[in-house]
Amino acid sequence: MSISPIGQQVSTRVNDPASVDAAILSRFSTRAYLPRAVDRSVLQEVLELAARAPSGTNTQPWKVYVLQGAKRDELVAKTCAAHDAISANPALAAEYTESYDYYPEKWVSPYIDRRRECGFGLYGVLGIGKGDKGRMHEQHQKNFRFFDAPVGLIFTIDKVLGRGSLLDYGMFLQSLMIAARSRGLHTCPQAAWNGFAKIILPLVGAGESEMVVCGMSLGYADESATVNTFETTRVQAQDFTHWVD
C-alpha cells in the first residue's frame, strides 16, 4: 500500500477513477459472509486509509476495537443471550438503552416510507412474512452474530465530544468501507449494537468516557447467499439537489 506523503496530496492524480466509482457503487450492507479469515495486515491497511478521513479541526474522534476469534465469539454469545432474554421478557429492554438517538422519536414521510421499503424488501427476499415474529427475531439476531463475518468492529467515541464529531465519524466509516471494497472485502455498518453498550464496553476494555457509535461486520461476502441479492434504492441526485445560481 502506498499513501501519498503529507504535502503531496495536491499533486496526486487518480489514474483510474472507474475503480474508485466501482468501490463506492459496489458497497452495500452485506448480511452473509464466508468463514474465510482476513489477514491482519489487510485490516491494518484499511484502518490506515480510513484514518485519512476529514474531521473538524483534525480532532479524529474515532476509536476502533477489532474483534476476532474468541473475543468476537464471546461478544456474540453474550449479546445474543441478552437479545433472546428481551424477546422473552420485553421489560428487560429498559436495561439496554442507546447512548444517543440514532433514529427520530417520531417518524415522518419520506423517511418512514424509505424505512418501510427497506424492511419489507429485505424480508421479502428472505421469505419472512408479516407477523412471523420468530423468523424476524432470528434475522435481527444475525446482527449480533456479525452475520457470521470473521471480523467484528466496534466503534466508540469520547462522550465529551459534540454532535459534529458524529458527522466526522460517518466520513471515517465510509472511508473504511470503501477501502475494504478495494481489497475485495465487504462490510455492514450496524447501529443494532448501540443498545448493548453495557455488554460491549467492558468486554473490549473501553474506558468510562467512551460510548458506542456503532458496530460493523467485515469479511468476504458469501455470493451464494440469497440475502446478499437484496439491493436498496436511492433517491436520484436531481431529486435532492437544489442549484442556487
Domain assignment of residue 23, yes or no? no
Res 12: pLDDT: 86
Report yes or no on 138 lying in a domain. no
Closest to 151 in 3D by CA, of 64, 52, 225, 212 = 64
User: Which domain CATH number covers 34?
Assistant: 3.40.109.10
pLDDT tens per residue across all 245 residues of the chain: 555 566 688 888 899 999 999 999 999 999 999 999 999 999 999 999 999 999 999 999 999 999 999 999 999 999 999 999 999 999 999 999 999 999 999 999 999 999 999 999 999 999 999 899 999 999 999 999 999 999 999 999 999 999 999 999 999 999 999 999 999 999 999 999 999 999 999 999 999 999 999 999 999 999 999 999 999 999 999 999 999 99
Q: Is residue 60 a contact partner of residue 155, using CB atoms and an 8 Å limit?
A: no
Domain count, the chain: 1
Domain contains 242: no
Asked if the structure places residue 36 within a domain, the reply is yes
Whether residue 197 lies inside any domain: the answer is yes
Q: Which domain holds residue 82?
A: 30-100+143-228
pLDDT of residue 196: 98
**Residue 213 domain flag:** yes
Residue at 4 is within a domain: no
What's the pTM value of the predicted model, to 2 decimals?
0.94
C-alpha 20/C-alpha 87 separation (Å) is 42
Instruction: Judge whether 205 lies within some domain.
Output: yes
Assess contact for 150 and 35: CB atoms under 8 A.
yes
Of the candidates 126, 2, 139, 149, the one whose C-alpha atom is nearest the C-alpha of residue 72 is 149
